Amino acid sequence: MSVTGEQPAIPATGHPYQFTADGPGRWRLSGEVDVAVSDQFATSLARAVGAAGAAAAGADGYAISMDELRFIDLSGLRALAAAATTAGVRVELHGVPAVFWRYWYLAGFSEAVTSVYPVS
C-alpha cells in the first residue's frame, strides 16, 4: 500500500446550501456551508441583512433557522460573525446543533460577537 498524498474527491452535492427568506428579518439556512461556498454565503447573508435593514429586525432582532443545516466550517462561522457584527442587533440562531456552539466558542466568537444567541 502506498500513500500518494492525494486527497479523495468529495462528490459535489449540487446545491451545498440554501439561504432563503422566511419573513421580515427571518431566514432559513440549510445544507452545507464550507470554504468552497463561504464567500457566496457571506455575500448572500450581508445582502439579506442590508436589504432587511434595522427596521425589519424588530424588537427581537434577526432570526436564522438552522434546523436543516448539515455542516458549517470555520469560514461559514466567520461569515455569520461578520453579518451579526454588521447588523448591530440581536441575531437568534434557531435549531443549531450543540457542536456548532462548541466550534463557535473555540473559535472565540462567543466573546467577540455577543449579539448571537441560541434559541431552542
* Model pLDDT for residues 68-93, shown as the tens digit of each residue: 999 999 999 999 998 888 877 788 88
Query: Is residue 36 within 8 Å of residue 16, measured between CB atoms?
Result: yes
Residue 59 — very low, low, confident or very high, per pLDDT cuts 50/70/90? low
d(CA 95, CA 97): 7
| Lowest pLDDT segment from 3-7, 38-42, 115-119 | 3-7
Residue 120 — very low, low, confident or very high, per pLDDT cuts 50/70/90? low
CATH of 27-119, picked from 3.90.950.20, 3.30.750.24, 1.10.10.1150, 3.40.50.740, is 3.30.750.24
